[in-house]
Structure 1
Amino acid sequence: MLHDSRALRRASDAASARASVNSRRSRWILGSVTGGVIGLALTAGIVAAPAAGAELPDTVDHVTALVTGSDPLHKTVDDSAITIKLAKDAIAAADAKTAEVAGSGLDLAGAPAAVETQDLTAWIGQLGDRDSLSDRELTSLTAYTVTGTEAVVAETAALQASYDAAQQAKAAAEQAAAEAAAAAEALAQANTVDGAKATARSMASSQYGWGDDQFSCLNSLWTKESGWNYKAYNASGGATGIPQALPGSKMASAGSDWQTNAATQISWGLGYISSVYGTPCSAWGHSQATNWY
């Protein structure tokens, strides 16, 4: 009877140890140890009855040895199983991120575009055959694998950061390109005859308080001078642009883009008319009388 009780307790010990490995816990928790010891003590009392009381200390010592490391080979094997699981998870995450980055085609600005996992994979393979390893070899390989796992996790995090930065840079570049395209489209529209007239009407009203009567004179004046063409150029005299500034470089005072932007030319032309003639109608009257303004 005593022999059977001891065998039962040994089987219970082995089952508890296997369950501890399968739980994949990375740390041994003292509370769990205490609970396991108490549970085994209670089980021993029920199965073996008082007569087996003398054997109870042997059961407690055996379970404690599995947990605390007084039986180092068993504990190292259990730790290795957890280490392998964590390492495989790290490799899977690294490989997935490497594949995602490669598929994106993004430039990581010189940062590594992949996480190297070959060494860690090799160590996992060796740990998989841990029954053939000595205690010392098992301990060393487990340490290598833990260190390698930490390195792979860190490199994966760095790759993620580089990938995020590349995605942000791409988004910023796309936004800048879209804004540039929109600005170019707006400029092209403003540089048309109708666009230039609309700009001139708006500026004349908002900046000088000139109404439709003055705009009518301005329209007649600049239709005669340039046909509202911002590229107009008088080869014989050098007058340039919608207001036919002479020389055209005068319009640089209104903006450096005076050669390509009708609005800049119009801004300069309205200022010229205001300072020299007072109003567009006065400038138009002078043009009609002298053929220039």
Structure 2
Amino acid sequence: MSRISVRGFAVASATAVTTVGAVVGVASGSTQETSNDFEATAADGGTLLADIPAGQQVEVQTASLTQQADAQAAAADVVAQKSAEEEARKQAAADAVAKKEAAEKAEAEKKAKEREAKLAASRSATRDAGDFAQQSSYSVAEVQAMARQMVPADQFQCFSNIVDHESSWNYKATNPSSGAYGLMQALPGSKMVSAGADWQTNPATQIKWGLNYMDSRYGSPCGAWNFWQANNWY
């Protein structure tokens, strides 16, 4: 048999062995030795190494391993729980960011559609060059009045700023050095034929061409005006 120091079990075993020894000792005439052994055992306080049968050793070892396994399982559960909580926190943060980005994108798309609808409504209310009766000549006030009816209201001031700088609203203005012509100082002036064959004498045709040019190249007259302010040309 092997010796195993198991405090509780050793005490019980030692007590049992000592008690049996005392009884046997009385029968054999060794009362004094047995009594001394018993006292030594009692005085030891439970630290005596007892002889434990092999079967009981297995039970003790099994109980110890079970406790260790339970402790390890509990620790693993704590780690797993913390890991799950951290993953949940990260996922919640990612979901919040995605939700915010989606909301911002939806809001931007909504505003873009509103701007497009507003611009479309504004342009649908404007008049075309062919809506004006041709005259032999036009005053600055008449040309400006035509432009107000052809250019969307929210773009007129930008359009007007460019025309002010380019020709001072003189639809026959000619640059002697470059040959640029008309309200927009188109270069060459003949490119305005795309808006009408009467581009040289009809300010409405020039306005139509200028508006189409600004829209196609800069997105709008205000886009063209922003470029003009930075470069002094457009």
Structure number with larger C-alpha Rg: 2
TM-score, L = length of structure 2: 0.42
Normalised to the residue count of structure 1, the TM-score between the two structures is 0.33
